[in-house]
A and B are shown apart, each in its own frame.
Chain A
Amino acid sequence: MAAQQLTTASAPTDIYGGDEVSALVLDAGYCHTRAGFAGEDVPKSILPSFYGSLKDASQLQGARDIFGDECLLPHADFEVKNYMSRADSVVEDWDAASKMWEHMLIKRLQPEKETHPSKNGLNDPADENGDVNMEDVENQENQEKPLAESPLLMTEAPWNAGKAREKAIEIAMESWDVPAFWLTRTPVCAAFAAGKASALVVDVGGACTSITAVHDGLILKRSVQKSPVGGLWLSAQIRSMWNSSEPKLDPMPTFMVESKTPVDAGAPAQARVRKFDFDISPSFRAYEDERLLTEFKESVVEVWRGPGRYSNPGNEELVKTQPGRVFEMPDGSNQMWREQRYRVSEGMWDETAALPTNEADTITKAQTIPELIKSCLNSVDVDLRPQLLANIVVTGGASLVNGFNDRLNNELMAMYPGMRIKLHAAGLTTERRFGAWIGGSILASLGTFHQMWISKKEYEENGAGIVEKRCK
């Protein structure tokens, strides 16, 4: 059909010169997973990597997974899980990962296929024997190759294991039938998003902070430094602060509050608590707590800008003379935060200032951001260091904490006096949060990138191992 020939990929001008293959870009992180079309500036679909697992009374075998922030609401027998690993930001549960990705790439971004009547939900009342139909659906799904027209570019953490990389290409090629695939490292993408092929990438994410030297579009493997000092670690610091404050704060997340009445600062809350006739699972509670902590981080927490450490004499007294910030908890109680709001973030720079938390979140000196940068730079060639310091790309959602860049700049100037230090941090919040995705989007839409893709044919000839050979 004439219509078919118009698909952009086949038109000759589009193959190398044009920017258009309608590739998909998938960037999975511990907190959020982002998916969208290459060439766009924001991912179309941003979902929390947390997903709900609902045990249905009617469905005795196993649990049903539900995806998306909107559906993470209190339910009976409801657990919130994450398919990524907190420690490494790599995929942990591949079953859930492929379901989640399928939901995002296919359900959200692709049109509904011409479906089988049993699947499109129109004939629901008519289906009496679900068993037979379910089989049909599965058969149908096996025949269907949902992404047969879209190449897929995925990002991965720089320390991703070879096995995991092979698994990724397997899923893409075998179950989605993508025509071409590429796997790229998040720091490289973040550098591309900032328009640089060589850079020192400081990625302060949700679960991890990583410092990576990128040279000519390739990561320098030995330079990769990783530490848990990220958004969730900061949340743990806040929690520790709340626990140790007088009186102890144990705020309930928004979902538990039915309604609140305004009270004076420091006064006890007057709120009606929502009652549920089922148990709220700890995992759901933790997820909801994180929402509250995010809000607290957004509007209260600040990084001491320096120069010098916050614990240097005089600084805290100075802050105490300044106006603080009031934060109102979901239950209406509110309180002013003044010097504390600097203290919670100080551990990122100074391990001695970190508030006591449980052992998993305790950090060492080597895990603070200045030390990470130091050891990263120490592991690269001396000649490269000036170039890297002049091209520092700051990305990741946790770097949005107020004052972060000023402090980073001050720390670097103190560590490398006389060197030219230039930070590059995107101004738009979205660009900072989705830096790696945007870089992937740029990369996949470049005309010159098309010769890089691992094609379906190459995969069939070489097997999953090709990804190790090609995607360095």
Chain B
Amino acid sequence: MSSQQGKWREEQVLIICPGSHTTMAQLGCSELTPPAHRIPTRMFKDDETDEYRPFHTYKRKKQGANGDGGGNDYEYVEDRDSTEGAVYPIQGGRIVNTQAFLAFLDHVHSLLTTTYHNTPIMLMASPQWTRPDCETIARYIFEKTKTPALCLLHSAVAAQYGLKWPTMTVVDIGFEKVDVTCIHDHIIVSHKDLGFPTPTRYISGGEVFTQKLLSLLRDKNFTYDMAEQLKKSPLCEVLPYAADLPELMDLPTEGGSDTAAVAEVPKVNEPAVPLGVDDESGNIDEKADNDGVLDVANIVTSGNAREFLAKKEREKAEKAKAKKGKAQEAEAAAAKAVRLPNSRRKVNVFHYEELVHEDVQVPESNGAPKPAEATLANGEAPAPENTPANGDAEAAVPANGDTSSSDALPFAADATGSITQRRTKRVRRDIEVGLERFLFADRGEIDRITDTIYRAIQNIDEIYKRSGCWDNIVFVGNGSRLRGLKENIMQTLNARHLVSPSTATIFTSELPSNMATPTGTGSQTPTGSFTGPLPTTSSVNPLLQAATTASLGVPGQVNAPGSTTGEAGPSHHQSHAQTPTSIKMASLPTYLAEWTKNGYEEAMFLGSLVAARLAYCIHNLDASTTEAQRQMSLNRVDYNELGPKGVRTHSMLG
């Protein structure tokens, strides 16, 4: 019944890439676009039914109910933003709560499509998923739903399908885990992971950096959300690896005078007030050059603030220009500070936005906008310098437009004169951040990642496979979106592990190591170095071929099988050279404009789309390819025959 295969259209395939934090999902793989849906990977346990629900649900007393209505006094309210009581079924890539995970799959499915019977599923699996996990998922999907086919896809293989290189090292930096998978010629040859319980769990990945940032800024009243947002903002950067500096990064300094202060770790509790120019600025209007004062605590709403800042900047420049005669050098310094890139500035301003929910009582005349406080911010903002940038200085706009759309969950009760309305406000604060925004790049964590990459590649059994993996390193996973992280890791690897190519190639003759004793005929004179197996086609250098085959004919020499690694045959010579002699990132495809914009950190999703097409949507193949395609996914017919263990053979788990 293999005719069952290939009956689906591209629009029907459901692609799910679960992550510990966010799950990417999309129905249809006809367009190779970034994921249509990003769903938080969490479920909420319902205490009464013991089932899992997708949102936090709580019971609330109905408005106007007066207690005698029996069970009808309460109503259930879904709070889509709350994380209270959330169960995260995947942790560090590992399924820790199977029931919740299956319920989550169901939720994703019902969110995207209504039917099961013609929707084959492509599900990306983390390397941490155990074989019984995969079997449980297969059993659930085939027995509880009417899904016609399931394909489980190893996440590193998925990344490979997205990036098309046959040999590569996939470094997947996730929320709480890092996976390093080496793929040589489409086969997984080595794997290491961080963040797996050993048995205590030391997390690794993006979360480590957030935690570090949070610990550095805790004294400034930073919350987790603030740290997370700061980390994602362009302000936070991992500075390039500087091998000869004490902190291994080139921290910016404030002018020449402050170098000493920068050399040591800056005090975390230094006040959040601007580190203005101190001496020269005595006679200058503070507004003009004091860059830090721009922490406009009271500016509200996103768009305005930027304009406001720009305006402020302009004004300042003009003012400074006016005072040019008086304080030329100060102006120069200020202007320079403005133009400096973030990585050269000692301090920078972080615009923190948060959504504040509150239940407000509003008059019944609902629907009418409530412009009361809104005016205050949009017009001329009051001079912001006077307001310190501390946590409670928030001015809020009840932005009606935003609120009613998605975030707010208004519900109405009839009788009363006022109704309670859930409102979401976007509050914006500007906070000045010092060197913490560079220091959060925890050296220990980066070292852990680089060590793991090094060990993963050097642990590949066949030595000749290593160099290919060193030359094609790719970083995926949204943890690697952190500015400068990839570059820093590559620089670290290069500085620490690169075997200098000059000496290695000059002296090392990579002639086949199972070559016989030289015969003095000159036929075995080294012809230079090469790495990797010789090409077996007729295009091979004839001299080389003569040299290598001659070694078989030496009398008295018996070649035992398996003398070299690999099925010994001179034409399959495998290098024993020390690696790495070069460490490079694989180049990323450029032909998918949308993905170039989105970034290839989510390449595994792209790969899942490609794999879904290959597994489900390619028709009219020849017999052997059809058979290969059949092995890519498990369809219902095969499931009925093989049971859940069918996923062991009918999947792309590597």
User: How far is it, in angstroms, between the C-alpha of A404 and the C-alpha of B568 when the chains are bound?
Assistant: 13
- B232 interface residue (CB < 8 Å to A): no
Identify which of A44, A109, A302 contacts B513 (C-beta below 8 A).
A302
Chain A CB within 8 A of B97 CB: yes
Contact partner of B563 among A109, A255, A406, CB < 8 A? A406
Assembly CA distance A411 to B248 (angstroms): 54
Q: Are A112 and B565 in contact (CB under 8 A)?
A: no
CB distance from B505 to the nearest CB of A (A): 9
Do A430 and B143 have beta carbons less than 8 Å apart?
A: no
Contact B458 A427, beta carbon cutoff 8 Å: no
Q: Which of B98, B492, B514 contacts A114 (CB 8 A)?
A: B98
Among listed A115-123, A205-213, A372-380, A436-444, interface-contacting one: A115-123
Residues on A with beta carbons closer than 8 Å to the beta carbon of B202: 71
Complex Cα distance A328/B561, Å? 30
Q: Is the CB of A427 within 8 A of B562?
A: yes
Q: Is the CB of A423 within 8 A of B561?
A: yes
> Measured between alpha carbons, how far is A128 from B583 in the docked complex, in Å?
47
CB distance from A258 to the nearest CB of B (A): 7
Which of these, A68, A115, A324, A433, contacts B461 with CB under 8 Å?
Answer: A433
Q: Indicate whether A67 reaches chain B with its CB closer than 8 angstroms.
A: yes
Cβ 8 A contact of A120, one of B97, B447, B458, B577: B97
CB distance from B85 to the nearest CB of A (A): 10
B357 within 8 Å of A by Cβ?
no
Q: Which residue of B lies closest to A318 (CB)?
A: B517
Chain B residues whose CB sits within 8 angstroms of the CB of A240 once the complex forms: none
Contact B455 A69 (CB under 8 A): yes
Interface class of chain A by DSSP: mixed
Min C-beta distance of A244 to chain B, whole Å: 22
Residue of A nearest to B97 (CB): A120
A60 at the interface (CB under 8 A from B): no
B 382-412 to A, binary, CB cutoff 8 A, 1 in contact else 0: 0000000000000000000000000000000
**CB of B462 within 8 A of chain A?**
yes
Q: Is the CB of B194 within 8 A of A70?
A: yes
B560 touches A103 (CB 8 A): no
Instruction: Please report the C-alpha to C-alpha distance between residue A70 and residue B204 in the assembled complex, in whole angstroms.
Output: 11
Decide yes or no whether A382 CB sits under 8 A from chain B. Answer: no
Q: Are A107 and B562 neighbours in the complex by a CB distance under 8 Å?
A: no
* CB pair B131 A37 closer than 8 Å: yes
Expressed in whole angstroms, the Cα–Cα distance for A298 and B457 within the complex equals 14
> Min CB distance, B284 to chain A, in Å?
43
Q: Does A243 contact B (CB under 8 A)?
A: no
Binds A, one of B87-95, B205-213, B300-308: B87-95
- How many residues of B are counted as interface, with CB atoms below 8 angstroms from the partner's CB atoms? 77
Q: Report the tally of A-B residue pairs with Cβ distances under 8 A.
A: 193
Chain A CB within 8 A of B567 CB:
yes
Check A262 for interface membership: any CB of B closer than 8 A: yes
Residue in contact with B507 in the complex, picked from A324, A430, A432, CB distance below 8 Å:
A324
CA distance A336 to B505 in the complex (A): 12
Given A6-B643, A429-B565: A112 and B95 interface contact (C-beta under 8 Å) = yes
B487 within 8 A of A: no
Point out the residues of chain A lying under 8 angstroms from B131, CB to CB. 37, 44, 109
CB distance from B224 to the nearest CB of A (A): 12
A265 CA / B507 CA spacing, docked (Å):
10
Do the beta carbons of B193 and A66 come within 8 Å of each other? no
Residues on the B chain within 8 Å of A323, using CB? 507-509, 511, 526
Contact of A272 among B136, B192, B244, B463 (CB under 8 A): B244
Within 8 Å by CB of A410, from B194, B197, B243, B558, lies B558
Is B496's CB under 8 angstroms from A260's CB? Answer: yes
Min C-beta distance of B509 to chain A, whole Å: 4
**In the complex, chain A residues 301-339 whose Cβ is within 8 Å of any chain B Cβ:** 302, 305, 307, 318, 321-328, 330, 332, 334, 336
Measured between beta carbons, the chain B residues less than 8 angstroms from A400 are: 565
Q: Across the interface, which residues of B come within 8 angstroms of A424, CB to CB?
A: 561-562
Question: A136 near B: Cβ within 8 Å?
Answer: no
- Smallest Cβ distance from B571 to chain A, in angstroms? 14
In the bound complex, do residue B503 and residue A334 qualify as a contact, i.e. CB atoms below 8 Å apart? Answer: yes
Quick one: given A67-B198, A326-B507, are A409 and B496 in contact (CB under 8 Å)?
no
> Are the CB atoms of B196 and A68 closer together than 8 Å?
yes
Chain B residues lying within 8 Å of A324, measured Cβ to Cβ, are 507
Of B143, B567, B645, chain A has the most CB atoms within 10 Å of the CB of: B645
- Contacts A3-B143, A406-B560 known; A254 to B99 CB distance under 8 Å? no
When A112-B96, A114-B97, A307-B556 are in contact, do A321 and B518 touch as well, CB less than 8 Å?
yes
CB distance from B55 to the nearest CB of A (A): 17
Question: How distant is B548 from chain A, measured CB to nearest CB, in Å?
Answer: 15
Task: Kindly state whether residue B564 has any CB partner on chain A within 8 Å.
Answer: yes
User: What residues on B are CB-neighbors of A321 within 8 Å?
Assistant: 518
Name A429's contact: one of B462, B526, B645 (CB within 8 Å).
B462
List residues 479-498 of chain B with CB under 8 A from any CB of chain A.
Answer: 492, 495-497
Is A352 interfacial (CB-CB < 8 Å)? Answer: no
Closest residue of B by beta carbon distance from A336: B507
Residues of B within 8 A of A327 (CB): 578
Cβ contacts under 8 Å, B244 to chain A: 272
Known: A111-B133, A258-B495. 10 other contacts (CB 8 A): A70-B198, A120-B96, A259-B243, A262-B500, A325-B577, A326-B507, A326-B508, A328-B499, A394-B562, A405-B561
Which residues of B approach A to under 8 Å, CB–CB? 87-88, 91, 94-99, 130-133, 136, 139, 143, 192-194, 196-202, 243-244, 248, 447-448, 451-452, 454-455, 458-459, 461-463, 492, 495-497, 499-500, 502-504, 506-509, 511, 513-514, 517-518, 526, 556, 558-568, 576-578, 643-645
Listed A/B pairs (21) with beta-carbon separation below 8 Å: A2-B143, A70-B192, A70-B193, A103-B198, A114-B98, A114-B99, A120-B97, A121-B91, A254-B497, A257-B496, A259-B243, A264-B503, A295-B578, A323-B507, A323-B526, A402-B563, A403-B563, A405-B563, A409-B560, A413-B558, A424-B561
